[in-house]
Amino acid sequence: MTLDRMVFAFAGSFILISLALAHWVSPWWLLFTAFVGANMLQTAFTGFCPLVIILKKLGVKPGQAFN
């Protein structure tokens, strides 16, 4: 799996998990959902994503978006 796909998989997973936690545990988990969405938005404009740095250090091969 390439870096791009892993970033999308992580973001999607965290959003779905936090939505489930907001539904069953506490609505405060929606703040985590907002954080993930804000991080995705700033990545679209700046190209900087903290997860990419971590995944590159783990040796994940780059895709098209994050070189």
Res 41: pLDDT = 95
Percent of the chain clearing pLDDT 90 (strictly above): 87
Triad 1, 34, 59: Cα angle to 5°: 25
Cα dihedral 6, 10, 11, 16 sign: positive
pTM of the complete model: 0.84
Angle 15-23-52 from CA coordinates, rounded to 5°: 15
Q: Where are the domains of the chain?
A: 3-57
In this predicted model, what pLDDT tens digit does every residue of 18-35 receive, in sequence order?
Answer: 999 999 999 999 999 999
Mean pLDDT, residues 34-45: 95
Binned at pLDDT 50, 70 and 90, residue 67 comes out as low
| Contacts with 60 (C-beta within 8 Å, 6 or more apart), sequence order | 1, 2, 3, 6
